Amino acid sequence: MYYKNHGIEFSNIISDDMFDNLMETAKFCIMHGFDVKDDGSNIANIGKHINKETFEKGVESLYKSGLDILGHGEYKTPAQLGMGEILEKFDAVELRRDMASRISSISTDFHERIERDSRDASDAGSSVGNDIGEHTRQCFEFNRFDKSSSRVKFFFSTIADCELKPLTENGKLVYKDGLVQYKVINKLNKYGLPQYVPMNIAYNMILNLCHDCENVQQLLDTLRNASMSNGLFYVAYTKLKALK
């Protein structure tokens, strides 16, 4: 008996939980395939890139960095087989619309807009497939304040779940600008695949740490000190430092 989601049958995915986790990893792949900037300034252009080509590009990029999403060896895990199915069937409009929703959920009113736009498209008899890029683009067309808010949400929603391994040279720690240098190692979820830290968790952890910071430099210093023992804070610090 096949598992079905969005009307599509999968032979290697067995539950909604597995499907959701694999789609989050697919989002991770697409973000890497599209090469989204740290400040999210080019995220509005991703709508037309939510496709199999970008997905495959991200898979290849991650494989080169040591993350085998599809399983290139003789043995493949059930999750890797499931990822292969999602990639194989990613031309399906329903999967790409699901992904557009996941990527664009950093916007405040995306879900309401996509439902309304989908109804309007259906009433007009237009092709849903041609509207996916438009749905994604429209959700970023806000006034200046809303765009700024979306970029903040983008920042918190694209922090990879990872851990740190101190870099050493000749048995000694490697320092740069007074900070121990680390190799960032992606943590894997229960299905053995990488994904981003949930936005609410990243936001709450950073807010709890930095709630009394009065300026950007204090924020950077606080994250810098905390980053020595926490992967999330390390990624946040390096991303913020790059934006300063």
Q: For residue range 131-144, list pLDDT tens digits in order.
A: 555 544 444 443 33
Tens of pLDDT, residues 70-92 = 998 889 999 999 999 999 999 99
CA distance linking residue 70 with residue 82, whole number of Å: 8
Average pLDDT over residues 124-131: 51
Of the pLDDT bands very low, low, confident and very high (cuts 50, 70, 90), residue 182 is confident
SS (H, E, C) 168-212: EECCEECEECCEECEEEEECCCCCCCCCECCHHHHHHHHHHHHCC
pLDDT of residue 139: 45
Percent of the chain with pLDDT over 70: 80
CB 52 within 8 Å of CB 91: yes
Whether the predicted pLDDT of 204 surpasses 80: yes
Whether the predicted pLDDT of 162 surpasses 60: yes
What is the pairing mode between strands 3-5 and 175-176?
unpaired
Of the pLDDT bands very low, low, confident and very high (cuts 50, 70, 90), residue 7 is very high
CA distance linking residue 232 with residue 243, whole number of Å: 17
CA distance linking residue 201 with residue 220, whole number of Å: 19
Q: Average per-residue pLDDT in the chain? A: 82
pLDDT of residue 134: 52
Of the pLDDT bands very low, low, confident and very high (cuts 50, 70, 90), residue 125 is low
Average pLDDT over residues 237-242: 87
Of the pLDDT bands very low, low, confident and very high (cuts 50, 70, 90), residue 21 is very high
